[in-house]
A and B are shown apart, each in its own frame.
Chain A
Amino acid sequence: MITLGIDVGSLTAKAVLMDGDKIIEKHLISVGYNSKTAADKLLSELLDKAFIERKAIAKVVATGYGRNSIGFADKATTEIICHGKGIHFLLPEVRTIIDIGGQDSKVIVLDGNGTVANFVMNDKCAAGTGRFLDVMARAMETEINDFGPLALKGKNPSEISSVCTVFAESEIISLVAKGEKREDITSGIHFSIARRIVSMVKRVGLIPPLAMSGGVALNVGLIHALESILETPVSTTPLSQFSGALGAALLAQEL
């Protein structure tokens, strides 16, 4: 049975097409003002990419912030459940997941069967989210894709004490004025966000192995900072950005 999982987040919309337990296609686009329009566009581009017709898809599960506005979905499930499902499929041993999205961050604990047992979510503050990294990369005049590798070059991470995105930006401007190295400031930024995430991990209680999902899992600088503070390896997968959509497609297989 062919199923579609669609994850409409605050910044990007992702789709995964599955046939049984085989991923047959995936696609990602930016979300603009209207999440419903984004979902329609995502579906039509995915169908073209996979050379299949809409009627070939038996079931659709939607997830992400836009999940309730996707008219063609058979069911809406939260991204917390879907990320758990998707990561469990890709990395079956994993018990704790850090998911950093565009506008929030979550720590999810799974039981041995991949079912969500507990979760904690930071949803009121940009610090500790993908948006924070975007703003900081801009402040450092760096492309977001180069931001993580630049952080790895920092030997003496600068101390970023502010917990607020707006104030952290002005703190960074002061560090630049003081002449601190660009890579050290960048490394400091990554450690500051990692400390925020670690406090959430501690609140929910870390059960290893640990993995990271969501777009920010592509940032090697953050993975390094998290591993240094938690003193435990953080697994990722090339499909980290798609793990929510993948989980949704898997749930659709169960409908």
Chain B
Amino acid sequence: MKENKALRRFREVAAAPYDYLRNLKTVTGKEMIGSTCSYTPEELIIAAGAHPFRIFGESKGLSHADAHLQAYGCSMVRGMLEDGLSGSLDFIDGVVFSHACDSIQRLSDIWRLNVKSLHFDVLLPVKLDTPLAKSYFTKVIGRFKKDLEKSFSIEISESEMKKAIHVMNELRNNLIRLYTLQSQYPGFISGSDISAIVKASMVMEKQEAVDLLTHILDEAGEIKLADMPSNPKRILISGSICSHPDISRIIEGKNAVVVWDDLCSGTRYFEGLVPDDKEPLEAIASRFTSRYVCPAKHLGVEFQMENLKKLITQHKVDAVLFMFLKFCEPFSFDYPDIKKALEKMKIPFLMVEMDRHNGVDEQMRTRIDTMLEIL
């Protein structure tokens, strides 16, 4: 799609998210509350008058974190700790730890002892899709609300919560529209721009992100089919995190397009809406308990396969690229069975492991290129 101001703004923020946040804090005076997982009730942070953002863990050269975490641990968690210890998050006021996986739980402990900031734990239930989980999680979210109120000496009103739910739903709706357009008109926007938009949306003031995205979507109304790749192969990326722009470039260089993803840095951020006709805390909890369940909260391989099959059919996927963070156990545990199931279905796929801090090397490129050349 054509260059425009909104797209440039998203790219700028995605390239230097912490600079944006430092500036936002100076301009608005808002408390900056970082999060470590997509299971964070951002609505409550917004309703408390603070600003929620995702900690990315992109510090290069892990010199501080390795004193606390083993080298064979998840590179995203090690990177987040490095961000905290190295001073690159010197503007933060607090961090929310949603206990999705073991590594984030341990990160919470290490953070509490070593980084001076407000500390919030959101204790996710082991199972997320049962009626009991829903009532338990509503209480957990209520507790988080109280923790915020106590920390900021405020009272979070129902109307503020409803406003926050509204803006977050608008953002989610816009991101879903963006993805749906890419699935309908593959290649109308580059994959690296989509990654930048989602990443920046995790950082920016939500209303600003909504407005910029609305502008982009309005412009996209004039898609010229002639400017788009002809009959590209349709790829689904599944896994933990993949925000490396080189991956999109490699894929697009072979006349293929990522038409959907199942990533923490993608759809898992914005999937599902918070019902706006319910009591806010219950409504926020119900979004988390009724949407796709992250493999960190294992629901069984069959569940993962059903979800994959649904996405493959819905988006007419030609091949699946699994991008796993090295040592990210929840995904690795499921993979052997998923591999068998995909082989049976005769769906081409490839699994590559990435370290958060390494770029894409020639070997990884050879593997991705080969899968695309075979299609």
Interface residues in chain A, defined as those with a beta carbon under 8 Å from any beta carbon in chain B: 65, 77-81, 103-104, 115-117, 119, 121, 123-124
Q: Is the CB of B370 within 8 A of A81?
A: yes
A-B contact pairs, 15 of them (CB 8 A): A65-B362, A65-B366, A78-B366, A79-B366, A81-B370, A116-B370, A117-B374, A119-B370, A121-B363, A121-B366, A123-B361, A123-B364, A123-B366, A123-B367, A124-B363
Q: Which residue of B lies closest to A77 (CB)?
A: B373
Chain B interfacial residues counted at CB < 8 A = 10
A207 to chain B, nearest CB (A): 14
Closest 4 pairs between A and B when the two form their complex, measured CB to CB: A123-B363, A80-B370, A78-B370, A78-B369
Which chain B positions have C-beta within 8 A of A103? Answer: 363
Q: Is the CB of B367 within 8 A of A116?
A: no
A123 to B367, CA, bound (A): 10
The B interface is mostly helix, strand or loop, or mixed, namely helix
CB contact list, B352-371 vs A, under 8 A: 361-364, 366-367, 369-370
A117 to B374, CA, bound (A): 8
B161 to chain A, nearest CB (A): 48
Which chain B positions have C-beta within 8 A of A81? Answer: 370, 373-374
A117 to B370, CA, bound (A): 11
Which chain B positions have C-beta within 8 A of A117? Answer: 374
| Apart from A65-B362, A81-B374, A119-B370: 15 A-B pairs, beta carbons within 8 A | A65-B366, A77-B373, A78-B366, A78-B369, A78-B370, A80-B370, A81-B370, A103-B363, A104-B363, A116-B374, A117-B374, A121-B363, A123-B363, A123-B366, A123-B367
B255 to chain A, nearest CB (A): 12
Q: Is the CB of A115 within 8 A of B366?
A: no
B354 to chain A, nearest CB (A): 11
A114 to chain B, nearest CB (A): 12
A121 to B352, CA, bound (A): 10
Which chain A positions have C-beta within 8 A of B364? Answer: 123
Q: Which residue of B lies closest to A117 (CB)?
A: B374
A123 to B369, CA, bound (A): 15
Interface string of B89-124 (1 = CB under 8 A from A): 000000000000000000000000000000000000
Which chain A positions have C-beta within 8 A of B366? Answer: 65, 78-80, 121, 123
Q: Which residue of A lies closest to B350 (CB)?
A: A119
A100 to chain B, nearest CB (A): 14
Q: Which residue of A lies closest to B366 (CB)?
A: A78
Which chain B positions have C-beta within 8 A of A79? Answer: 366
Q: Which residue of B lies closest to A119 (CB)?
A: B370
Q: Which residue of A lies closest to B363 (CB)?
A: A123
Q: Is the CB of B363 within 8 A of A115?
A: no
A47 to B305, CA, bound (A): 54
A202 to chain B, nearest CB (A): 13
Which chain A positions have C-beta within 8 A of B362? Answer: 65
Which chain A positions have C-beta within 8 A of B367? Answer: 119, 121, 123
Which chain B positions have C-beta within 8 A of A121? Answer: 363, 366-367
A205 to B369, CA, bound (A): 22
A78 to B253, CA, bound (A): 13
A132 to chain B, nearest CB (A): 16
A121 to chain B, nearest CB (A): 6
Which chain B positions have C-beta within 8 A of A104? Answer: 363
B289 to chain A, nearest CB (A): 38
Q: Which residue of A lies closest to B361 (CB)?
A: A123
Q: Is the CB of A78 within 8 A of B373?
A: yes
Which chain B positions have C-beta within 8 A of A65? Answer: 362, 366
A9 to B159, CA, bound (A): 64
Which chain A positions have C-beta within 8 A of B370? Answer: 78, 80-81, 116, 119
A124 to B361, CA, bound (A): 10
B210 to chain A, nearest CB (A): 39
Which chain B positions have C-beta within 8 A of A115? Answer: 374
Q: Which residue of A lies closest to B367 (CB)?
A: A121
Which chain A positions have C-beta within 8 A of B369? Answer: 78
Which chain A positions have C-beta within 8 A of B361? Answer: 123
B120 to chain A, nearest CB (A): 37
